[in-house]
Amino acid sequence: GAGVSQSPSNKVTEKGKDVELRCDPISGHTALYWYRQRLGQGLEFLIYFQGNSAPDKSGLPSDRFSAERTGESVSTLTIQRTQQEDSAVYLCASSPFNYGYTFGSGTRLTVV
Amino acid sequence: AQTVTQSQPEMSVQEAETVTLSCTYDTSENNYYLFWYKQPPSRQMILVIRQEAYKQQNATENRFSVNFQKAAKSFSLKISDSQLGDTAMYFCAFSQGGSEKLVFGKGTKLTVNP
C-alpha cells in the first residue's frame, strides 16, 4: 500500500488478557520500528527490525512484550497479561535505510 | 545515552506570524541525524524536516526551516507564515548515524490562532 497500515486502530481489552497489534510496512522498506506513546508524552522506542539482522529489542519494557517480523513484511507486537500501565498508542514506522520514517496512525490500546 | 529536550511544553502564535520551537540534544557522536515531526490530532506522525549533522547548511522545506547549531547542540524549528493547519504537537528527534533508532523529545504543543 501507499502508507504504513496498523490494525486495529483501537483496542479495548481486559486486564490480564493478551493482545496482538499488527503493522503492514511500506513495500520495500527494510527497517521497521515499534514505539509506544503514553498520553501527553513523547514516543518511547520499543523494538527495531532491519532486514534479516537480529532485532534490537532494547526498548521492550518487560518480558510480557514481544514482536515478530516475517522477512521485510508484516510485524506483530504481542503484549501478554496486559496491565493498565500498558494503555497507550502503539505506533509502527518503516524506513528505507537512513532516510527517515513513515509512521502508521497507531493502535490505541486501552486496558480496563 | 542520547537525550532530546524540548523546553516549551506549549506555544501559541497568531495566524501568518512566525514562531520558533526549541530543541536541544546531548550526544558524544559526531555523525547523526535530527528531525522534526508533526503530530496533529489524527495522531499520524508526519516528517516536517530533516538535518544531517555533517551538513553545515540549515535545512529548509517551504515555510519550515531549522537553525542547527552543532557546537551548542541546538536544533530549533522556525515556522513562517503560520497557518491554522500547523496546529499540532511537534516532536524533535535524534538518530545516531548508522543506527535507525529515534530518540524523541517530549514535544511542544503548538496552537495557531485565527
| pLDDT tens digits along B86-100 | 999 999 999 886 557
> Which pLDDT value is given to residue A71?
80
Contact A107, A87 (CB under 8 A): no
Q: Which three cell numbers stand for residue A23?
A: 503493522
| pLDDT tens digits along A11-51 | 999 999 999 999 999 998 888 999 999 988 889 999 999 88
Return d(Cα A36, Cα B37) in angstroms, integer. Answer: 15
Return d(Cα B103, Cα B6) in angstroms, integer. Answer: 12
Contact assignment for A105 to B44 by CB distance below 8 Å: yes
Chain A partners of B49 at a C-beta cutoff of 8 Å?
none
Any chain B CB within 8 A of the CB of A56?
Answer: yes
Burial class of A69 by CB neighbour count within 10 A (0 to 12, 13 to 18, 19+): buried
A98 confidence band (pLDDT: 50, 70, 90): low
B29 confidence band (pLDDT: 50, 70, 90): confident
> Which pLDDT value is given to residue A41?
84
Any chain A CB within 8 A of the CB of B100?
Answer: yes
Q: How far is A92 from chain B (nearest CA, A)?
A: 10
Which residues does residue B75 pair with via DSSP β-bridges, in sequence order?
B68
Name the helix (H) or strand (E) containing A21: strand A19-24
Nearest to B67 by CA among B91, B87, B89, B51: B51
- DSSP structure string for A28-65: T--EEEEEEE-TT--EEEEEEEETTSPPB-TT--STTE
3-class SS letters over chain B: CCEEECCCCEEEEECCCCEEECCEEECCCCCEEEEEEEECCCCCCEEEEEEECCCCCCCEECCEEEEEECCCCEEEEEECCCCHHHCEEEEEEEEECCCCCEEECCCEEEEEEC
Q: How far is A43 from chain B (nearest CA, A)?
A: 6
- Region of A84 (left: φ > 0; alpha: ψ -120 to 50; beta: rest) is alpha
Sequence-separated (6 or more) residues with CB below 8 Å from residue B99: none
A67 confidence band (pLDDT: 50, 70, 90): very high
Interstrand relation of B88-96 and A107-111 (parallel, antiparallel or unpaired): unpaired
> Which pLDDT value is given to residue A1?
54
